[in-house]
């Protein structure tokens, strides 16, 4: 499985519909996507809560093109390089035949991409398991790109493994539009969101307000999670983000078992030339590196 190949297929499936929806030529749409990328970069490093219009389909398209591959690769690295997380995944699939994953603010399906590639590399010839995936995000429109990515992940599985019975895993998904700062939205949150692995991938750096409410959500999920469940936080290596990550885990009664800081680049099997058509049109390269990132793992005793 190759991130850029899956992403290109998703972009191809989305672009014409976006142009029709916005009554734009493809050239106009690509110029607007480029403008969104410039705005994203400025907002993320402004020092305030980022104001990014994910409700705009061209903004989501631009994010999918530029940032999804590298963020998925970083998430995959955090999974495979954390012995505790990798072992949890293997044990759940081997013992129960199912892994329940909850992605906070997962946007286009970054975590699904990361976990899928990890399992394609580690589960070949092993009993088939089911990935029960719940995606929480305030922007319900992300479901479009999430579905496009999922569809193309399945195409990759067919190409690589043949008939469905030979796949190393299957995917069951739930897309749940959810404001992660409003815990009162559900009366029985624990029953609804009880999982084995909780992933917060570039979530904390985008939540600058209502931190107390988000902390209550994490604590409630940790309270209802089964023993041994893990919370994996991946984000920018900024002092206040790192400090908040550690505060969240401690306040939720989770034991920190790994903390890693990283500066690196995407795996060598990933080639940005796969997206060259879009690179020429948008006049902006997809990201290939992460500078100043970290991941931290908390486990429920």
**Residues 267-283, mean pLDDT to the nearest whole number:** 94
User: Across residues 279-296, what is the average pLDDT?
Assistant: 96
CB-CB neighbours of 228 under 10 Å: 13
Selected residue with higher pLDDT from 51 and 16: 16
Residue 185 has pLDDT above 70, yes or no: no
Lowest mean pLDDT among 21-25, 95-99, 174-178, 255-259: 174-178
Q: With pLDDT > 70 as the criterion, what percentage of the chain qualifies?
A: 93
Token pair for 102 = 């909850």
51-86 burial code (b ≥16 CB/10 A, e <16): ebebebbbbbbbbbbbbbbbbbbbbbbbbbebeebe
Which residue, 76, 70, 163, 71, is CA-closest to 116?
76
Lowest mean pLDDT among 132-136, 236-240, 261-265: 132-136
Q: Tokens for 298?
A: 């908390």
| pTM confidence score | 0.93
pLDDT band at 301 (very low <50, low <70, confident <90, very high): very high
Where residue 74 falls among pLDDT bands split at 50, 70, 90?
Answer: very high
Provide mean pLDDT across the span 142-161. Answer: 91
Nearest to 96 by CA among 220, 228, 245, 209: 228
Does 218 score more than 70 pLDDT?
A: yes
Mean pLDDT across 21-33 = 96
User: Mean per-residue pLDDT for 99-105?
Assistant: 89
Residue 187 has pLDDT above 60, yes or no: no
Question: What's the Cα-to-Cα distance from 48 to each of 23, 43, 62, 67, 144, rounded to whole Å?
Answer: 33, 8, 22, 20, 28
pLDDT at 188 over 70: no
Q: What is the mean pLDDT of the chain?
A: 90
Q: Is the pLDDT of residue 178 over 70?
A: no
pLDDT of residue 120: 95
Q: What percent of the chain has pLDDT over 90?
A: 69
Q: What angle do CA 99, 103, 106 make, to 5 degrees?
A: 140
**pLDDT the model gives residue 179:** 64
């Amino acid at each position: 499985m190759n991130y850029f190949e899956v992403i290109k297929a998703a972009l191809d499936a989305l672009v014409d519909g976006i142009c029709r929806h916005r009554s734009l030529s493809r050239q106009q749409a690509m110029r607007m996507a480029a403008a969104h990328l410039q705005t994203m970069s400025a907002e993320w490093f402004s020092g305030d809560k980022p104001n990014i219009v994910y409700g705009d389909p061209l903004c989501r398209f631009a994010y999918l093109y530029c940032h999804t591959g590298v963020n998925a690769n970083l998430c995959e690295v955090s999974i495979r390089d954390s012995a505790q997380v990798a072992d949890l995944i293997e044990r759940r699939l081997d013992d129960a035949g199912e892994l329940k994953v909850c992605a906070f603010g997962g946007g286009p399906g970054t975590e699904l991409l990361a976990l899928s590639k990890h399992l394609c590399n580690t589960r070949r010839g092993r009993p088939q398991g089911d990935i029960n995936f719940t995606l929480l995000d305030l922007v319900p429109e992300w479901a479009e790109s999430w579905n496009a990515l999922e569809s193309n992940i399945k195409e990759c599985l067919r190409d690589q493994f043949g008939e469905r019975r030979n796949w190393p895993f299957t995917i069951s998904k739930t897309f749940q539009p959810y404001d992660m700062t409003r815990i009162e939205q559900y009366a029985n949150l624990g029953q609804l969101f009880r999982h084995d692995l909780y992933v917060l991938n570039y979530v904390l750096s985008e939540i600058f307000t209502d931190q107390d409410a988000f902390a209550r959500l994490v604590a409630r999920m940790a309270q209802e999670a089964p023993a041994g469940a893990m919370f994996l936080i991946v984000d920018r290596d900024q002092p206040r983000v790192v400090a908040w990550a550690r505060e969240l885990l401690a306040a939720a009664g989770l034991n920190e078992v790994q903390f890693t800081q990283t500066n690196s680049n995407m795996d060598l099997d990933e080639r940005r030339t796969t997206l060259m058509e879009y690179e020429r049109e948008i006049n902006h390269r997809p990201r290939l590196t992460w500078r100043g990132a970290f991941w931290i793992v908390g486990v429920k005793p």
